[in-house]
Amino acid sequence: MTPMMWTVETLNATVDEEIENLPADMRARLTRIAALIATAGLENVHAPHIKHIEAQLWEIRMKGKDGISRALYVTAKKKRVVIVRVFIKKTEKTPRREIEIALTRAKAVQNDQD
């Protein structure tokens, strides 16, 4: 039996738009890390690519020539990574406001699983 692979998806069109608004090199980096998760499995991908934030929230870390950005995600049933918020990071610490947005959106993923 082949092991079930991970999939990386976005929550909705709003998140798709946030990704579209990233500089091209950061979008490419996100695509590369998503492919790494899909092929190697989330359990085999670690820092510097991903980092735990709080509760069920994790971040995919992207660095580009114009700065850094983050894609906040939660995991869902059936080995799914669901990206719930994407933003350009301007401070060293992830802003509380971004975490709150992500946690609110993450509730839709949790509800989807019940």
Q: What CATH code is carried by the domain that includes residue 98?
A: 3.30.2310.20
pLDDT of residue 1: 56
The total domain count for the chain is: 1
The span from the CA of 75 to the CA of 71, in Å, is 13
Residue 40 lies in a domain: yes
Q: Is residue 1 part of a domain?
A: no
Residue 17 belongs to some domain of the structure: yes
**What is the per-residue pLDDT for 113?**
67
pLDDT of residue 45: 95
In this predicted structure, what is the pLDDT of residue 97? Answer: 97
The pLDDT tens digits along the chain (114 residues) read: 556 799 999 999 999 999 999 999 999 999 999 999 999 999 999 999 999 999 999 999 999 998 999 999 999 999 999 999 999 999 889 999 999 999 999 998 877 765
How many alpha carbons lie under 13 Å from residue 21 in its C-beta half-sphere? 13
The DSSP letter of residue 21 is T
Domain of 96? 7-113
Does residue 68 lie in a domain region?
yes
